[in-house]
Structure 1
């Protein structure tokens, strides 16, 4: 039986890291506060310790100068004493004064420690260890030329105790500050993250069957407000995409049922009647070809509408609408050679949009006018502009449609009361969708020739600022 795998260092580290943002922020701030307060406190404590040690050195210097004035008394006494009978200079100060001659101590006054203090070998300041306790020592030669040296010592135990007390205070303050900071940050972060928790709760309530469900709208903080607005826009796009998919499926199923049934009947007729006359067979094949073209056109139109409903659109670009319209008119003339297209060239007009979508809209307007006008009639194409919009008006000379049907003609699969072609009924619906996707509209009205005038209205691009010669942008 295999042994369970022990968690490695990385897994242990991952377990030690808090899982929630609130915990991570609180732990991070607590650690940062502890580091900053600890470093600041340690710096202050070390600075105080340095000052205390400098004070000890100054006291030793002053004491050595004072004792040198009475060095003769020490030499005259010639014995080592621990009692303070030396003018009150060393009373209760954990200090010691020694006179050294010939490599040995010849006199001493002050607080003599239990352990022996080694005889110094050099002059000046030094720190020595006496029975595990630090002492500060200053050695100077006597000024009388006798060769004797004076050693003044001071215990550093009080200084060490003050440094230890300071370090303990720093640790206590750093821990208390970090805990207080962690608690405060925990509370503040909880308030800040409350909108995010509401967003999460709202997201958990969303079901695929409820396309109208939205996340709670947050107003503060700004980042959470932007996040909630972005997510709600994403949900709206998903809703539009799902509705477009459902509509595409429903429309395709509804509209393709009849032509597929007709194709099935025609195929069955051809299979059951192998001896069918050539003329009849050709008639059935022509009908099947027409149904095939109609289904292909229907699927292309439905697919384009579905993309528009789902806003699955490419990046916008600046488009010269005059050039696009001229190219569309040339294609329409080749496609409908018996129809006369009356179109005059105009100055360039810029719009912001999708070239494929605008091309589709203009082609459908021109085809619709050719199909519903007279077979050898005239289609008038005009483009006019204002400061804010451009209008492409396409008018045919057919019978037109009643005014009460203008809006219904923009709906999908609407072909009017007396259709004059076998179209899918999606032409004007495609134009209307592209108009709205580009921030414009489709307007229907009577033409001067008695037919229908369809006007595509689009916003124009703002004029580019004039750049003066020689001036850099």
Structure 2
């Protein structure tokens, strides 16, 4: 069973109406109770004053009994109490000896004890004060009709109920209208969210400036959408690139396997060439997958926390390992001082390895690679120059794109090396510049902001 309404607007309205109703009702009842208490206290005070006054003329009342003088003389209580809804009785041994004032419509029961009491008779309510009159056991009772007080209490209670009902209705209407305006930005966000689909490019939720909480929610959701869009685009690009670039080596690998299966008695020399071709294609596929995965992670911004990196030490280690991978190439490293940048050691090492291997791959056989590390005006430059054919100026920008190979090179490769360096440069808020080295080959300069 559903207790609360489903919509936020209805829930807010219901909660506010209930709260206002309770507050107004409690406040009204407290005021009514205070007024009623004051009226009853005044009635008791009047009874006490009247009883004190009657005490002095009790002998006259006893002598006259229930028949005061016709001219009103002898005592004042016959004329004073008549029409005042008050009554005075002198009681002895359970009998009324004298009585003055309003005659009740029904007989009033005699008091059983002294003090205040409330008496009801024939729908009429009386307030009574009984006091001892003398040592003989006679008692004096003074009564006051308090129906006006009861009527006032009922009227005030009805008034509070009416005011509470009106306050609830007014609150419900006002809250409903106010929440409509307040929740309008959320309705805009909801409409924008419904319009977003997986095929929508660069979709965003509407920009909301007020209220602050909804504006923060809008910014957070748009940031999340940007991240999801980036991740989705990276996945799509990885899938497309992998499908496109792996088709050829996988086809070649499959054809070689088929040749070996159909020709089990293939001569050893041809079999060796087929296995060597398979090994080459396998390395190519492995390199392509590794490069594509790295590019996809960078595109998706799946990056660890940035930390200080001593670039001079990282470059020295990278050059040492590059020399082992490329024993026919001579690396000449020149560093002026210890240089520190802020970034990701794995990403920076990947960029340096690709620059060093690219220089060895596309430089001349048994050639030299010059590596320099400098720092100037808050930036750090890593320069790698080879002595190969280089890249024409009109092709240098294109060479940073994925799967792009130069027209002058005959060396094997996947065309991802410079693309990986370009991506890491962008992720580290730097840049990659391609130029010509003094020996005529390619000079690649990786510029990064210093720590």
Which moves more between the two structures, 169-178 or 244-253?
244-253
* 1:298 corresponds to: 288
Partner of 1:136: 127
Partner Cα separation in structure 2 for residue 293 and residue 232 of structure 1: 41
Query: Which position in structure 2 is the counterpart of 1:30?
Result: 17
Q: Deviation string for 1:40-63 (max 9, x for gaps)? A: 111111111111111111111221
Taking a change above 3 Å as real, the CA distance of residues 422 and 117 of structure 1, as seen in their structure-2 partners, is: same
Residue 408 of structure 1 is matched in structure 2 by 398
Matches of residues 96-107 of structure 1 in structure 2 within 5 Å? Answer: 96-107=87-98
Match of 1:442 among 432, 436, 439: 432
User: 2: CA distance between counterparts of 1:128 and 1:458?
Assistant: 99
Q: 1:89-111: per-residue Cα shift (whole Å, max 9, x none)?
A: 32433221111233432111122
Tell me which of 173, 190, 193 is aligned to 1:200.
190
Give the corresponding residue for 1:258.
248
Change over 3 Å in CA distance of 1:386–1:128 after alignment to 2: farther
Aligned to 2:327: 337
The 4+ residue runs of structure 1 with deviation greater than 4 A are 144-147
Match of 1:57 in 2: 44
Taking the TM superposition and a 5 Å limit, the aligned residue runs for 1:139-150 are: 139-142=130-133, 147-150=137-140
Q: For the residues of structure 1 that align with 2:307 and 2:292, how far apart are their CA atoms? A: 24
> Is residue 331–residue 371 contact of structure 2 (8 Å, CA) maintained in 1?
no
Task: Give the SS at the match of 2:80.
Answer: coil
User: What secondary structure is seen at the aligned counterpart in 1 of 2:183?
Assistant: helix
Counterpart of 1:465 in structure 2 is none
Alignment of 1:135-214 (within 5 A): 135-142=126-133, 147-214=137-204
Counterpart mapping for 1:68-467 below 5 A: 68-79=55-66, 86=77, 88-131=79-122, 133-142=124-133, 147-338=137-328, 339-344=330-335, 346-347=337-338, 349-351=340-342, 353-385=343-375, 388-461=378-451
CA distance in 1, matches of 2:447, 2:91: 112
Please report how far the alpha carbon of residue 375 of structure 1 lies from its aligned counterpart in structure 2 after TM superposition.
Answer: 4.0
Q: Measure how far apart 1:293 and its partner are.
A: 0.3
Q: Is the 8 A contact 2:425 2:432 kept in 1?
A: yes
Structure 1 residue 378, shift from structure 2 partner: 3.7
**Cα distance between partner residues in 2 of 1:178 and 1:323:** 74
Shift of 1:145: 5.1
**Does the residue aligned with 1:89 lie in a helix, a strand or coil?**
helix
CA distance, structure 1, for counterparts of residue 85 and residue 381 of structure 2: 104
The answer as to whether partners of 2:339 and 2:375 remain within 8 angstroms in 1 is no
Q: Unaligned 5+ residue runs, structure 2?
A: none
Contact 1:320/1:349 (8 A) holds in 2: yes
Return 5+ residue gaps in structure 1 as ranges. Answer: 1-10, 462-473
- Pick closer, same or farther for the CA change 1:413–1:155 going to 2, 3 Å: same
Q: In 2, Cα distance between the equivalents of 1:216 and 1:293?
A: 48
Instruction: Write the distance in 2 (CA, Å) between the matches of 1:155 and 1:182.
Output: 43
Q: 1:44 to 1:419 in 2, by over 3 A?
A: same
Hey, what's the Cα distance between the residues in 1 that align with 2:117 and 2:381?
99
Distance 1:44 1:460 in 2: 74
Aligned in 2, Cα 1:320/1:53: closer, same or farther, shift over 3 Å?
A: farther
Shift of 1:322: 3.9
Q: Distance in 2 between matches of 1:127 and 1:350?
A: 93
CA contact under 8 A between 1:80 and 1:106: conserved in structure 2? no
Task: Report the alpha carbon displacement of residue 289 of structure 1 after superposing the two structures with TM.
Answer: 0.2
Q: Does 1:41 align with 2:31?
A: no
- The CA distance in 2 between the partners of 1:103 and 1:348, in whole Å, is 116
Shift in CA distance, 151/302, structure 1 to aligned 2, threshold 3 Å: same
Rounded to whole Å, the distance in 1 between the matches of 2:272 and 2:315 is: 39
Structure 1: how far apart are the matches of 2:21 and 2:322?
Answer: 78
CA RMSD, Structure 1 to Structure 2 (Å): 2.6
May I ask how many residue pairs the two structures share in their alignment?
Answer: 445
